[in-house]
Amino acid sequence: MPALVYPELKPWPQPPETTTELDYAPLAVLDFAKWDAPGGKEELAAQLKEASHTMGFWTIINPGIPQDVLDTQFALANTFFTLPQEEKEEITFIPGESCWGYRPPGTIKGTEFKENLEMVNMHKFTEGTNYPRHTFMKRYEPLITSFQKLVFEQVINKIFVLMAIMLELPENHFTDMHKFEKASDDHVRFIKYRTRTVEEDKAVSDQWMAGHTDFGSVTLLFPQPIAALQVRTPEDEWKWVRYVPGGIVCNAADLIALMTKNYVKSAIHRVMRPPPDQANLERMGIFFFVRPTNDVIIKPNFSPVLQREGLWTKEDEEFKDEDAATCGEFVIARMQNFNPSRTKEQRDKEVLKVKQWEVVNKYI
């Protein structure tokens, strides 16, 4: 590993891959090294079309993010989580009220057990955004911003170009809605999962994070080798997500599903106790949650593909922008509705209404 530019950051050594045979989901692997080759983008778009329409999950290899850049972000996460508790709690969020800053382990719904995860959500550092930030994060602002920008250029923009190609739309269709420089709720999350004993995990059915969909457009999960993430397949089975060295796991989320009439699937996923050879290792996750800019109107987006598939209706044609929620309104409503203290029964009965949209919670 090359020397860290910030020597005071504590490196996060990545453990070996599991050798346990797991029932893996058949995820497409998109090789971004093909991007500039003749026909490369078209080939990748065809892969993404199939993957996003079926599993809602795929993996990108050769994403153009140097390993030492990733190592530094993992070291930043590790250093943050080893701060004294009062420094971590400088900016703390309460689910349902806001989502910026640190969240200590909560209590698992319906039980007296504590979660084994703590997280911190860092809004992108752009002009005009004024969310509270940890003193610690402010110190590393150039490091955080340069990483987020690089990921935006190398990976996020390209995913949206491919989505446009696969839906037979102009290449800038989705990139115009997702701009790093413009106000939106794009954010990076660090999660540290602590180990639990077999008995402790048994009491919570081995679950570390309940099944859910993500709220935004797409989510990126940066490479880390501890198997724990599972995806709900179209056949309604849980399958493990395979670690691919250097590969970024991506999932489509609710807003892109709404805009594409569910052609792109917002996949349900959850986090479980890792296999025995990794269950005694702490797991560090780094995620990029991508959302449209706040001014984007959340509405069905016409596409010849949706039309051919019979998904495009008269109501979609007559959709009135003035009746529709913007992404900013949508995200606030969704975040305030996310109250993990409610029971599953309470949540299941509830449908969140945001102007014309009815959002059915899919927490399982």
Q: Which residues bind ligand AKG (CB under 6 A)?
A: 189, 191, 209, 214, 221, 229, 269, 271, 285, 287
Rounded Cα gap, residues 279 and 262, in angstroms: 36
Enumerate residues 299-328 that contact Fe ion by CB under 5 A. Answer: none
CB of 117 to ligand AKG, least distance (A): 8
Pairing of strands 57-61, 248-252: antiparallel
**Chosen from Fe ion, ligand AKG, none, partner binding at 161 (C-beta under 5 to 8 Å by type):** none
Using alpha carbons, list the distances in angstroms from residue 76 to 141, 191, 267. Answer: 11, 12, 29
**Chosen from Fe ion, ligand AKG, none, partner binding at 298 (C-beta under 5 to 8 Å by type):** none
Residue 214 interacting with Fe ion (CB under 5 A): yes
Q: Are 294 and 184 in contact (CB under 8 A)?
A: yes
CB of 66 to ligand AKG, least distance (A): 22
Instruction: Compare residues 326 and 361 and give the one whose CB is closer to Fe ion.
Output: 361
Q: Closest residue to ligand AKG, Cβ-based?
A: 229
**Chosen from ligand AKG, Fe ion, none, partner binding at 143 (C-beta under 5 to 8 Å by type):** none
Instruction: Compare residues 167 and 284 and give the one whose CB is closer to ligand AKG.
Output: 284
Instruction: Compare residues 285 and 292 and give the one whose CB is closer to ligand AKG.
Output: 285
CB of 185 to Fe ion, least distance (A): 15
CB of 199 to ligand AKG, least distance (A): 22
Rounded Cα gap, residues 65 and 55, in angstroms: 25
**Chosen from Fe ion, ligand AKG, none, partner binding at 229 (C-beta under 5 to 8 Å by type):** ligand AKG
- H or E element: which one contains 269? strand 269-272
Q: Are 41 and 156 in contact (CB under 8 A)?
A: no
CB of 355 to ligand AKG, least distance (A): 25
Using alpha carbons, list the distances in angstroms from residue 262 to 54, 173, 204. Answer: 10, 17, 32
Instruction: Compare residues 285 and 300 and give the one whose CB is closer to ligand AKG.
Output: 285
CA nearest neighbour of 293 among 129, 52, 48: 129
- Residue 108, sorted as left (phi over 0), alpha (psi -120 to 50) or beta, turns out to be beta
**Chosen from Fe ion, ligand AKG, none, partner binding at 285 (C-beta under 5 to 8 Å by type):** ligand AKG
CB of 9 to ligand AKG, least distance (A): 22
**Contact window for Fe ion (CB under 5 A) among 16-24, 116-124, 130-138, 209-217:** 209-217
Instruction: Compare residues 93 and 302 and give the one whose CB is closer to Fe ion.
Output: 93
211: buried, middle or exposed (CB in 10 Å: 19+, 13-18, 0-12)? middle
CB of 209 to Fe ion, least distance (A): 7
- From the DSSP assignment, how many helices (H) and strands (E) are in the chain? 12, 14
Rounded Cα gap, residues 68 and 226, in angstroms: 19
Instruction: Compare residues 45 and 248 and give the one whose CB is closer to ligand AKG.
Output: 248
CB of 40 to ligand AKG, least distance (A): 29
CB of 289 to ligand AKG, least distance (A): 8
Query: Mask: binding to Fe ion, 154-173, rule CB under 5 A, as x and -?
Result: --------------------
Output phi, psi for 94, to 5 deg: -110, 120
DSSP 32: G
Q: Closest residue to Fe ion, Cβ-based?
A: 214
CA nearest neighbour of 120 among 285, 354, 248: 285
Using alpha carbons, list the distances in angstroms from residue 71 to 6, 12, 66, 187, 208. Answer: 11, 7, 9, 19, 24
Instruction: Compare residues 41 and 269 and give the one whose CB is closer to ligand AKG.
Output: 269
Instruction: Compare residues 252 and 306 and give the one whose CB is closer to Fe ion.
Output: 252
Q: Which residues bind Fe ion (CB under 5 A)?
A: 214
